[in-house]
Structures are given as structure tokens and as C-alpha cells.
Amino acid sequence: MAGIADAEPIPFPGFDRLILDYAELQAVMSEQRFASWRTALASVMGIYAITDMRDGRQYVGKADGAQNICQRWSEYAVTGHGGNVELKSLTPSTFRFSLLRVFDPSTPASVVDAAESHFKEALGTRKYGLNRN
């Protein structure tokens, strides 16, 4: 009988097809069968959305500078909130994670910051969602 460690690798679906609930995020960040996913996510910076599926409110965040998507999402997999004040009082089991835009690691921080601000404005996450800034 094969164990979880022997599970067949699952191919990475691509950045534009990635939508994970919290349990899936935890599996992606910890299970060997998702190693290629972690490699792909570690290769980019980007803008992501977290949607609370109970009420549809969203949080827009970024991973930039020395931090890639894999590192940032690993924090969410462990804590459920990644240190974000508005997310701390919520139940991460109702969260859905998705990528809005990815960037090469050489992209200037100002470009990533502008994209994050654009998505917060476009999605109304400061006024109606879970972003405080």
C-alpha cells in the first residue's frame, strides 16, 4: 500500500488557473506531490487575492522584493492570516486563494506596488473588502 509520500506528482496547472481553498493551499505547501507547484510559485513575485467565501469579501496582497509567492503563501498555510489584521479574526477554512498577476523577480518594487494598488481599487477591497491600506 502506497503512502502519502509516494503519491503521484500533480502537474502545476499554470498561474492563471490557480484557485485554492485553504485545505488545498496547506497541501500544496507541504506535500511532495505538489513540489512542482512550489517550484513554480517560488519563481515569481505577484499580486494575489484571498476571498472569504462566506461573504465574498476580498483581500488583495503582494509578494515582492525578497519574498516570492511560495514564501508568502506558506505563511498563510501555517497561520491562516499571514499577519494581516483583518484576516486574523476570520476562519481561514473559508478562504480561497488566487493569483491576479505574476511578475519576474527582477521587476522593480514600484511596479508591483502600483499593480497591487490598481487591484485594490478595481476590486474595491479598501472600501468593501478586507484591505485597510
CA–CA dist 130, 15 (Å, integer): 23
CA–CA dist 61, 58 (Å, integer): 10
The whole-model pTM stands at: 0.93
Q: How far is CA 111 from the centre of its chain?
A: 19
The pLDDT tens digits of the residues spanning 53-90 come to 999 999 999 999 888 999 999 999 999 999 999 999 99
The pLDDT tens digits of the residues spanning 38-52 come to 999 999 999 999 999
The pLDDT tens digits of the residues spanning 5-29 come to 567 999 999 999 999 999 999 999 9
CA–CA dist 106, 98 (Å, integer): 22
